[in-house]
Amino acid sequence: AALAGCGLDPSPGQTAELLRSATPLPEAFKVPLPIPPTKRPIRSDAKADHFRVVQRKASLEILPGLKTEVLGYDGLLPGPTFDTRSGRTTIIEQVNELDVPTVVHLHGGHTPAASDGWPLDLLMPAGGHHGHTGHHGMTGGDVQTGSRMYTYPNTQRAATLWYHDHRMDYTAPQVYRGLFGLHLIRDEEEDRLPLPHGDREVPLVIADRAFAEDGSFRYPARTDGPGVESQYMEGVIGDVILVNGAPWPVLEVDAARYRFRVLNASNARRYELALDRGSAKLVQIGSDGGLLGAPIEHESLVVAPAERFDIVVDFSQYEVGSEITLLNKLDSGRTGEVLRFKVARRAKDDSTVPARLSAYAAVVEPAGVVRRQWRFRRGNTGTHQGWTINGKPFDPQTMQAMVKLDQYEVWSFVTDVHHPVHVHLAPFQVLRRRGKGPGAYDHGWKDTVDVRPAEVVEVLVKFSAHKGKYLIHCHNLEHEDMAMMAGFETV
């Protein structure tokens, strides 16, 4: 790819190009870790909680002394957190006060197709500035103007989900500018566990960004049109690490156990998280699709874009006053650090991590299941320069598979380079990676799996309840926008 002149460098270990900030980088571990506010319902009835979110521009101080214009749900980055109950419906009116069309997708949601955020089901801005509607001038989606209702039945177990923009061809720049947030689901199985909670249950939404001199987000300009050579098709990674929207923040902790809900909301950057000192482990209790059956201890945790890891860290072994840094071992220098913990005080701790967390069990692969292969490859052929699945760039008119509800299938994901593969509607279990068992980070119900270069990962998946058009795609968002996405229909 032609990288000259736009500040992009190839970056080892990442399928992405590093975009450098033109501002001085802020000093690390000065700003306290912000916690995204919990969204309050405008009303609740017997079955549902109703919310209203305004997508709007806001000018936020992300770097000290500078203003960054963001596109935010309620003007926030990350957006507000939805804290919901399994089985209780969440109904969200999304209002678009931006000047671009948007699409909202609840990532990990067991969502009816009409609310799943098909990339052409656009929500047009209220003000009538319609911007670009998509580079092919394509229609065929359910286009609404001003506001749109999204219904999430939350008929699924407790899990850390997230919501983000999914507009066709523009997901990467719109998420980069701020359109992402958390959506938690809780249930009784989880409530019964003596896990850390309250102030000791902390979201860590990690996203890298680059900044221009004036503090605005730096992102390569997109040249419109199909087949146009993109200068960023490998994926964009920045040189500033944000956690919950703050650069390299610091969190004061008690010398006690904490539960961290880790989300990698980055467009393309992968992390290998590890603590820099002491023998405390990252104890994984959950994955994308909720609690594991039993905890798994990790020295380090590789987190690809869109993956979630629910972890517990016990700070009781550290002296008061200790400073512990959460590293990103895939990098050195500034992007080799993420966050710092400061152990502020001794404190009582009633929490534990039980040996049995949930009724989760690995599903045995039934005999005679339908098998499908999904090949994720570069596709610089003919008029299309970008990425393909099974040799085809995304075409919203064509379904690559018709999938029967209520029966298991084995899907194989085959890659050329790194691709975090995501499937909508149903979670899956990883059966095999490179012909062997699941990898260290593959346990539990997942909806996104990090498929490394030239690998085959096989997963067991079963869709249920909702008929309609859904997506499988790469969650490197630049790959996604460069057409590494396919529709399938549940029937």
Does 474 bind ligand C2O (CB under 6 A)? Our answer is no
Residue 479 interacts with which of Cu ion, ligand C2O, none, CB < 5 to 8 Å by class: Cu ion
- What are the DSSP calls for 76-134, one per residue? BSS-PBEEEETTSEEEEEEEE-SSS-B-EEEET----GGGS--TTS-EE-TTS------
Cβ atoms of 169 and 69 closer than 8 Å: no
Cβ closest to ligand C2O, residue 312 vs residue 472: 472
* The length of the chain, given as a count of residues: 491
Q: Which of residues 71-110 bind ligand C2O (CB under 6 A)?
A: 105, 107
**Closest CB 321 distance from ligand C2O, rounded Å:** 40
**Closest CB 441 distance from ligand C2O, rounded Å:** 18
Looking at the DSSP assignment, which residues form a beta bridge with residue 311?
260, 284
What's the sign of the alpha-carbon dihedral 135, 136, 139, 142?
Answer: negative
- Identified binder of Cu ion from the candidate list 476, 478, 485, 488, rule CB under 5 A: 476
Does 473 bind ligand C2O (CB under 6 A)? Our answer is yes
- Identified binder of ligand C2O from the candidate list 308, 422, 432, 433, rule CB under 6 A: 422
**Closest CB 484 distance from Cu ion, rounded Å:** 5
Cβ atoms of 208 and 241 closer than 8 Å: yes
Cβ closest to ligand C2O, residue 281 vs residue 422: 422
Question: Which stretch in 70-78, 150-158, 294-302, 471-479 sits in contact with ligand C2O by CB under 6 A?
Answer: 471-479
**Closest CB 175 distance from ligand C2O, rounded Å:** 9
Does 263 bind ligand C2O (CB under 6 A)? Our answer is no
Cβ atoms of 263 and 204 closer than 8 Å: yes
Binding residues for ligand C2O, how many (CB under 6 A)? 10
Cβ closest to ligand C2O, residue 231 vs residue 476: 476
**Closest CB 180 distance from ligand C2O, rounded Å:** 9
Nearest to 422 by CA among 456, 392, 462, 449: 449
What's the sign of the alpha-carbon dihedral 394, 232, 301, 205?
Answer: negative
x/- letters, 416..435, toward Cu ion (CB under 5 A): ---x----------------
Does 410 bind ligand C2O (CB under 6 A)? Our answer is no
In whole angstroms, give the CA distance from residue 292 to residue 285.
6
The neighbour count for residue 1, using CB atoms within 10 Å, is 13
Token digits of residue 142: 């359910």
In whole angstroms, give the CA distance from residue 257 to residue 254.
8
Does 183 bind ligand C2O (CB under 6 A)? Our answer is no
Through-space distance between the first and last CA atoms of the chain, rounded to whole angstroms: 40
Does 269 bind ligand C2O (CB under 6 A)? Our answer is no
Residue 177 interacts with which of ligand C2O, Cu ion, none, CB < 5 to 8 Å by class: none
**Closest CB 19 distance from Cu ion, rounded Å:** 17
**Closest CB 407 distance from ligand C2O, rounded Å:** 23
Residue 281's contacts (CB-CB under 8 Å, 6 or more residues apart) are 297, 298, 299, 313
What's the sign of the alpha-carbon dihedral 105, 483, 481, 223?
Answer: negative
Does 164 bind ligand C2O (CB under 6 A)? Our answer is yes
Does 62 bind ligand C2O (CB under 6 A)? Our answer is no
Cβ atoms of 88 and 45 closer than 8 Å: no
Cβ closest to Cu ion, residue 254 vs residue 442: 442
Does 452 bind ligand C2O (CB under 6 A)? Our answer is no
Question: Which stretch in 38-46, 137-145, 150-158, 472-480 sits in contact with Cu ion by CB under 5 A?
Answer: 472-480
The 3-class secondary structure across 262-290, one letter per residue, is EEECCCCCCEEEEECCCCCCEEEEEECCE
Q: What residue type is assigned to position 232 of the chain?
A: Y
Residue 100 interacts with which of Cu ion, ligand C2O, none, CB < 5 to 8 Å by class: none
DSSP three-state, residue 390: coil
- Identified binder of Cu ion from the candidate list 76, 479, 486, 488, rule CB under 5 A: 479
Question: Which stretch in 190-198, 352-360, 430-438, 467-475 sits in contact with ligand C2O by CB under 6 A?
Answer: 467-475
- Identified binder of Cu ion from the candidate list 414, 474, 477, 486, rule CB under 5 A: 474
Residue 261 interacts with which of ligand C2O, Cu ion, none, CB < 5 to 8 Å by class: none
Does 424 bind ligand C2O (CB under 6 A)? Our answer is yes
Residue 453's contacts (CB-CB under 8 Å, 6 or more residues apart) are 415, 416, 417, 418
- Identified binder of ligand C2O from the candidate list 302, 471, 474, 484, rule CB under 6 A: 471
What's the sign of the alpha-carbon dihedral 308, 48, 50, 142?
Answer: positive
Instruction: Find tokens 């590494």 and name the residue.
Output: 484
DSSP state of 222: P
**Closest CB 476 distance from Cu ion, rounded Å:** 4
Chain residues binding Cu ion by CB under 5 A are 419, 474, 476, 479
What is the contact surface with ligand C2O in residues (CB under 6 A)?
105, 107, 164, 166, 306, 422, 424, 471, 473, 475
